[in-house]
Structure 1
Amino acid sequence: MKSKLKFAFVLFRNVLIILLLLEIGLGIFYSYHDESGIDGNTERIIASGLYEGDGMDDESIKEIFRELRQQDMMWEPYLHYRFKPMNGKHNTIYENGLRKTANPSLKDSATALKIFCFGGSTMYSSGSRDEHSIPSKLAKLIHTNFPDQNVEVTNFGCHGYTRVTENIQLQRELVKNNIPDIVIFYDGVNEIISAHQNNEAGSPTNAYNRKKEFKIAHSYKKRIKLMIYSSNLYRFVTTMQRKLFTKSAYKQLSSRSDALATDIAKNYVGYVQISKSLENEYGFKVFNFMQPNIYSKKNLTEAEQSYYNDQKYYENLYKLSYETVRKDSTMIKDSTFVDISDVFDNAEKTVYFDFCHTGELGNKLVAARMFEYLKPVLTPKTTEAVTVSETEQLTTINQ
């Protein structure tokens, strides 16, 4: 009996040692694989011509995407998370978790006209340098056209943030008596992604993961499940299963029902109305910009067509939810709502590097469109500002 127990113990111990060694080995492999994969993907992005004319060499472009991979998050009450500080060559994040914005018009922060820019990774401007994010491009346009104005633009954009989260961000600033003069919301993409993930409109991005983690400290079962599902061994096994049965290393996502798209639209309209009430209460001006995506661009380049083909499972949610928002009677009457999903219709060059994120050219065009709507608010009543139209910019860019 003792010999059998001893044999079982030795076998169990050896199995654990083998699993541990496999876990460590796979961890080293995946660490190298993921890092090299970033550069491999960036090579494809470079080949698409996305950064042509931006004055960057290939290594600088790779550095931008390596820094994106290195970004980390920390817990933030009510928001789930925010950026940890980062002092990268191209991505700078301050101690408060906000990205650096070029502010050439800023003379005195205490008396400046404040513009708050809210959104997800598209407002953060993933894939661009600090000086070429949407908020930075907007700040530069303001400075060019209104050089005497004292203006401060703040980039509140963060990966995965939805309109729900952004409203909470704004409310937290208002409670701290940090009152803006102009508030910009740039949304549409993450509302669809979060709804697709959770199969429910209005939930934060990755909420299903937070649900799994809830009260994990009080449940050994949850701890063990999380340890298994986050292990390199589990990743290896599931990847091999997918390759064998679907010929792809990635999980194949399916389309969601049209009813979910309707719920997404209703949810978005509700949060626009909340921001409208805050506008009336605090006296700032709100702009709700509905952002473009790969499904709304009329003329796709070869690279963009491949992004479209890879992620068609989002298409019905985007097209139907956007159309529902446009036709909503409240949105039709709401002067704060601006649909700029057609902003790239005249762009002949590659604008996207996936189905929703844009390069620095895209940021420039988006900022130019936003500026056209901000102009009346910024223009002094006794002064006529000389502006550069978006059409003229597009003509120059596409030459």
Structure 2
Amino acid sequence: MKSKLKFAYILFRNVLIIFLLLEIGLGIFYSYHDESGIDKNTERIIASGLYDESLDDETIKEIHRELRLQDMMWEPFLHYRFKPMNGKHNTIYENGLRKTINPSLKDSATALKIFCFGGSTMFSSGARDAYTIPSELSKLIHEKFPNQNVEVTNFGCHGYTRATENIQLQRELVKNNIPDIVIFYDGVNEVISGHQNNEAGSPTNAYNRKKEFKIAHSYKKRIKLMIYSSNLYRFVTTMQRKLFTNSAYKQLSSRSDELATDIAENYIGLVKISKSLENEYGFKVFNFMQPNIYSKKFLTEYEQKYYEMQEYYENLYRLSYEAVRKDSLMQTDATFIDISDVFDTASKTIYFDFCHTGELGNRMVAYRMLANIQWTLLSKTEKTVTEPETEQLTNNNK
């Protein structure tokens, strides 16, 4: 009996050691693989001609390495927000908001305030601080209204949907941080979250929050999370996909046409809420429906590859967008502006995946935004107090 127990113990110990060594080895491999993958993907982006020729290859690689280093922290009501970051090309303040270049800003307390809400496309992933959509908008305003005192704030964050953005706005209003103009730039994440969760209105990656819920009170959930987050699990599932689908990535299944209607109705309902806040607080709301690679008429060779990689989204995007356009409220609402055609005449590469645009694309979007909001850019008469952006800048060297 003792010999059997000893044999079982030795077997268990050896298996555990093997699994531990495999986990460590795969961890080292994936660390190298992921880091080298950033530069390889960036090299494809460089070859596509997305960036201005004045930018050297190493600078573009730095931009995307910093993008990879961006991290999140818990935030009540929003699920998460950015951690502060003082990068060479990406600056995120202590409050989780990205730096915006404001050449017109003279005095924050009396400035005409423009809040820009959206997901990673409004945040402007892959762009330098000075070339985000909000920064480009601010620079264009300065060119057209050089004497105007204007402060543009970038509230964009990876994965945020219109529901999350409405909460962001309400939290600012509660603090008496009242804007003059509110810009929403949406469409992409509403469809992505609907596709992920197979229901409209849930936050992006909500299924992960469901997995984590009450994990501290359940050993079963802790063990599951440990397994699902292990390098071994990643290796096994990757090999399964390669063997059975000829792809290392998870193939998302198609969704019903009814989901598109639900996505559109959810978006329209959230627009109504923001309009009620507009009436109560006296600011102007602009709802811009954003472009994506499926709405670009002329795809370059590289954009065609991005399109093919995520073609499974196309039907849901087209149906959702069309349902929004056909809604009677959206057709009569002057604050709803469909700019999904903003790149219709563009022959250059605009996208570096199915929705994120380069710096040229950001400027084109900002031009369209300014064309629609410029009539509201009148002098402010009432003072509202807000913390100047210069005081929010994080200093990681302290």
- Sort the TM-score into its range (normalised by shorter chain): over 0.9
CA distance in 1, matches of 2:114, 2:179: 6
| Structure 2 unpaired stretches of 5+ | 381-398
Q: Any idea what SS the aligned residue of 1:287 has?
A: strand
The residue aligned with 1:176 is 175
After superposition, residues 249-398 of structure 1 pair within 5 angstroms as: 249-379=248-378
Alignment deviations for residues 271-292 of structure 1 (CA, whole Å, 9 cap, x no partner): 0000000000000000000000
> What is the distance in 1 between the residues matched to 2:258 and 2:311?
18
Aligned amino acid, residue 138 of structure 1: L
Q: Residue 79 of structure 2 aligns to a residue in which SS?
A: coil
Could you list the per-position Cα deviations for residues 298-319 of structure 1 after superposition, in whole angstroms to 9, with x for gaps in the alignment?
1111111111111111001110
Q: Distance in 2 between matches of 1:10 and 1:279?
A: 70
Which whole-Å deviations, capped at 9, do the CAs of 1:245-279 have from their partners, x for residues lacking one? 12211111122111111100000000000000000
Runs of 4 or more above 6 Å deviation: none
Q: Does the residue aligned with 2:7 lie in a helix, a strand or coil? A: helix
- Take 1:176 and 1:369, find their aligned partners in 2: how far apart are those partners? 30
Q: Which residue of 1 aligns with 2:70?
A: 71
**Aligned residue for 1:49?**
49
Q: Secondary structure at the match of 2:295?
A: coil
1:317-360, Cα deviation, whole Å (9 max, x unpaired): 11011011001001112111110000000111110000000000
- Equivalent AA in structure 2 for residue 130 of structure 1: D
Q: Residues of 2 paired with 1:376 and 1:195: CA distance? A: 35
Deviation at 1:12, TM superposition (A): 0.6
Note if 1:229 corresponds to 2:237: no
Amino acid across the alignment from 1:42: T
Match of 1:117, as an amino acid?
A: C
Deviations 1:7-30 (A, max 9, x none): 101111111111111111100100
Q: 2 CA distance for matches of 1:242 and 1:315? A: 22
Residues paired across the two proteins, number: 380
Specify which structure has the bigger relative contact order, considering alpha-carbon pairs within 8 angstroms and separated by 6 or more residues: 2
CA distance in 2, matches of 1:311, 1:303: 13
Q: How does the TM-score come out when normalised to structure 1?
A: 0.94
* Cα distance, 1:52 vs structure 2: 3.2
Contact 2:293/2:355 (<8 A) preserved: yes
Asked if the contact 2:181–2:284 (Cα under 8 Å) also holds between the matched residues in 1, the reply is: yes
Q: Tell me which residue corresponds to 1:393.
A: none
Deviating more after overlay: 248-257 vs 84-93: 248-257
Q: Which residue of 2 aligns with 1:160?
A: 159
Q: Deviations over 1:190-237 (max 9, x none)?
A: 001111110010000000000000000000000000000000000001
Partner SS, residue 345 of structure 2: coil
Q: Give me the identity figure in percent.
A: 84
Is residue 199 of structure 1 aligned with residue 198 of structure 2?
yes
Inter-partner Cα distance in structure 2 for 1:300 and 1:239 = 30
Does the CA contact (< 8 Å) of 2:148 and 2:379 recur in 1?
no
1:39 corresponding residue in structure 2? 39
Question: What do residues 364-387 of structure 1 show as CA deviations (whole Å, max 9, x unaligned)?
Answer: 000000000111111569xxxxxx
> What SS is found at the alignment partner of 1:81?
strand
What secondary structure sits across from 2:337 in the alignment?
Answer: strand
Confirm or deny: 8 A CA contact 1:301 1:350 kept in the other structure: yes
Does structure 2 conserve the Cα–Cα contact (< 8 Å) formed by 1:99 and 1:155? yes
TM-aligned CA deviation for residue 243 of structure 1:
1.2
CA contact (8 A) 1:276 1:336 kept: no
